[in-house]
Amino acid sequence: MDRKFTITSPKACELLKEYKELSVKVSNLQDQISALEEERNKLAMKGQKAKDKLAPIVDELTKAELGEFEVVVNISRSKVDGELEVDISNALQQFKDAYRKKKLAPEETK
């Protein structure tokens, strides 16, 4: 820095004070956001671990119910305590439907 210049303006001083206060608030909010993101990520990891533990149990319990090309697509809690509702879909039929839809769709102009 080569030189300094002093400004004597109450309005400029007030605005600088307000700016610095707001900057501190922004910094504090950024810290809170980081902490909340970290907490969210930890909860998401715990949720994924629970889901990963649930998958083999559901697979074992639904093995007898699934047809050759059927897969479990969703698991949700039943209205009855202690029961789960399992949505099953036919993967082969989904593939056929998607293929037909793609085949019947008008081709994009080249």
Single pTM value for the model: 0.57
Q: Which two tokens stand for residue 96?
A: 């056929």
CA distance 100 to 27: 54
Q: 72, 66 in Cβ contact below 8 A?
A: yes
Per-residue pLDDT, 107: 65
Q: 35, 61 in Cβ contact below 8 A?
A: no
Domain spans of the chain, in order of start: 9-62, 65-105
Query: What's the farthest any 2 CA atoms get from each other in the chain?
Result: 84
Task: Encode pLDDT of 80-96 as tens digits.
Answer: 788 888 888 898 998 99
Mean model confidence pLDDT for the chain: 89
Q: Show the low-confidence residues of the chain (pLDDT under 70).
A: 106-110
